[in-house]
A and B are shown apart, each in its own frame.
Chain A
Amino acid sequence: KKKDNALLRYLLDKDDNV
């Protein structure tokens, strides 16, 4: 299931530490 959500997780996670 986690693998299925990889793209959405990436989109939501990106830039978060900037």
Chain B
Amino acid sequence: SPPLAPPGLMVPALVLEFVRCEQDELLVQSKISAHLAHLKQEQNSRSTPDNQEQNTRHAAKPERLTTFGLMCHMADQTLFSIVEWARSCIFFKELKVGDQMKLLHNCWSELLVLDYIARQLQHGKEDSVLLITGQEVELASLLAQAGVTLSGMIQMGQELVHHLQEFQLDRRETACLKHLILFNPDVKLLENQPHVESVYEQVNEALLEYTLCVYPQFPDRFNQILLRLPELRVLSAQAEDYLCYKHLSGEVPSNNLLIEMLHAKRT
């Protein structure tokens, strides 16, 4: 947990509000685990010869669940929880649905990557990664199964985790980063652009104030944190390209939020 603010100094109210908005990790974990278990069960029942009739009924969704497919379902479900999180944010609520969609279309992959990175930060092990379902996967086994592109992204992710571990990014700072990513003032054609710009500025100020208050011995901490955002953006862009490529080769499960987001940005 993050260190306490020195006596007499206050954690900015906005930062506390962001932490309040954070989702219950165990609840998200159990929801997603249950969803994936259901998918696997469905698949098993379909592959049993006794269930011929059921096979026919499910004929419209003849997806074979590969490890990659399972990961896509996991990312898809994580996206659902990201949308829920955004909806719980007071500043997000003030926007019309059209603007909300534009913001999410712009940043969904960055939020997914940050979610992954933040989980690895908490996990704190260099030789394994922690999935949103709570499963721990050996890094070596993951890299052995992945192709060149995916391996490169996993390694880039590990480097980013390592950077952030070096100065122990805390949960409050992570919560601020999520908001900086969501309220990106560079998103064009918003109905309420001034609101998004104002929220972005407020989050920046709150994060700066927070780092100076809680980590006064590291005056450059705020800049160091912000420097990681372009790296995160590069990684998320790579992940999108990779997903797009996999989608075109028919390896991404269809009819889900992940695909919808992928399409929205490309059209």
Contact = CB atoms under 8 A, between A and B. Distances in A.
Interface of A: 1, 4-9, 11-13, 16
| Residues of A contacting B: mostly | helix
Interface of B: 80, 83-84, 87, 97, 100-101, 104-105, 256-257, 260-261, 263-264, 267
Contacts of B87: 11-12
Contacts of A9: 97, 101
A9 B264 CA distance: 12
B246 to A, nearest CB: 18
Given A12-B83, A12-B87, A7 B97 contact: no
A7 B105 CA distance: 12
Nearest to B84: A11
Determine which residue in B97, B257, B261, B264 has the highest number of CB atoms from chain A within 10 A of its CB, and name it: B97
A4 B267 contact: yes
Contacts of A11: 80, 83-84, 87, 257
B117 to A, nearest CB: 23
B97 A13 contact: yes
A7 B260 contact: yes
A8 B261 contact: yes
Contact of B267 (A1, A6, A7, A8): A1
Given A12-B87, A12-B100, A4 B263 contact: yes
Given A11-B83, A12-B83, A12-B87, A4 B101 contact: no
A1 B160 CA distance: 35
The 7 closest A-B pairs by CB, nearest first: A4-B263, A12-B97, A11-B83, A7-B260, A12-B100, A7-B257, A1-B267
A9 B84 CA distance: 12
Contacts of B257: 7-8, 11
Contacts of B264: 1, 4-5, 8
B154 to A, nearest CB: 27
